[in-house]
Amino acid sequence: MKRLLILTLLTLAACGTGNKKPMETPKDQLVKRLFTLAESSQIAYGHQDDLAYGHAWRVEDYQNDRLERSDVKEVCGQYPAMMGYELGGIELGAEESLDGVPFGLIRKAALTHIGRGGMVTFSWHPRNPVTGGDAWDISSDHAVKAILPGGEKHAEFRVWLERIADFFESLGSETAVIFRPWHEDNANWFWWCKNVCSDADYRELYRCTWLYFVKERRLTNLIWCYSPNGPFTAESYLARYPGDEFVDMMAADFYEFIGPEGLEESGARYAGVIKDMLTKLTALGTEHHKLIALSETGLEGIPDPHWWNEVLYPAIQSYPISYVLTWRNAWDRPGHFYGPWKGYAGEEDFKAFAAQESIVML
Ligand code: BMA
């Protein structure tokens, strides 16, 4: 009898909480989904601001709009798997982003896309906290110092963080998204870039943002993406890396610009840099156990009608990146587009790209 009792107790203990697998959180599920893509040589295609506007159109009355229109879908019949949205301006309590998109529309677009089975990544180009200029205002080398703990703008910065954290909270506790703050930091065009902010201050800025969101606000549904600009060496990539505890995804941005040498050469040069970056990201991701991605790329106005299949696809196709995102199709600037749209010269080329074996649409 006593032995039976002991046996029963042991069995119960084995079935107890100690043996239970912890519940998978929405963030765990999204991380798993992105790793699965990468491990199966699949790359999710992403487009910035896809449901909010496109080439020569925009959503006017978002509350009564089902957000079905998409330049990408009009070309290939499918939505992108990933969509990017931009939060610049939210820190000031503004109603609309720096690109004139209401934050209510951004929230609805993100939730609509996720509801359809898609994934969302957020960028943030906040104003310069010292000069009041935009994110590209590099006239002061004091902006980051001023908002760090001990700086004269720190209290104001905490209000900024509070506003952006409120936005993420409003997406709901079941919604996981990628957050990609302080990007292209190794370049020289934002007030948090290398030319106006030391490596140590940059790392503190990123960590400070993470600490506020994760530890103070308990926002645990964000995949933290670190994305400097290309090209880089492993050393220069890591020089400002905030640390494994603060980052889930090691990504990078890089665009093609057509130089005086012409289309073909600039395409080849761009592809060479992309391959070099992705080789390094592959090694870094393996070493640090992180997801990797090409978080922003493109060629403004895509003048090469074969760009998608002859330049972009061969450059990315053999790397384990979870997604590639091309930038926005501005509704009010006809030449400022990085994705396809109905009527653009490379429509057929994009269709073939979306149908490539390694490319995943929604
Ligand atoms: C840039 C341009 C700008 C835009 C900014 C933030 O690359 O597209 O027009 O304001 O991104 O979205």
Name the CATH code of domain 2-7+37-360 (choices 3.40.50.720, 3.40.50.40, 3.20.20.80, 3.30.479.30).
3.20.20.80
DSSP, residue by residue, 163-190 = HHHHHHHHT-TT--EEEE-S-STTSSSS
pLDDT digits (tens, 9 = 90+) for 310-353: 999 999 999 999 999 999 999 999 999 999 999 999 999 999 99
- Mean per-residue pLDDT over the chain, rounded: 95
- 308-336 residues labelled b (16+ CB within 10 A) or e (exposed): bbbbbbebbeebbbbbbbbbbbbbeeeee
Report the nearest atom of ligand 1 relative to the CA of 125.
6
Instruction: Grade residue 18 by pLDDT with cuts at 50, 70 and 90.
Output: low
- Give the largest Cα separation in the chain, rounded: 90
Ligand 1: which residue has its CA nearest to atom 8? 328
Ligand 1: which residue has its CA nearest to atom 5? 99
67 three-class SS = coil
| Ligand 1 pocket, residue 328 CB under 6 Å | yes
pLDDT digits (tens, 9 = 90+) for 102-152: 999 999 999 999 999 999 999 999 999 999 999 999 999 999 999 999 999
57-58 and 53-54 strand pairing = antiparallel
pLDDT digits (tens, 9 = 90+) for 183-201: 999 999 999 999 999 999 9
What is the amino acid identity at position 153?
Answer: K
pTM for the structure as a whole: 0.94
Contact 331, 58 (CB under 8 A): yes
pLDDT at 19: 58
| Cα 18 to ligand 1 centre (Å) | 50
Mean pLDDT on 294-313:
98
Answer whether residue 31 shows pLDDT above 50: yes
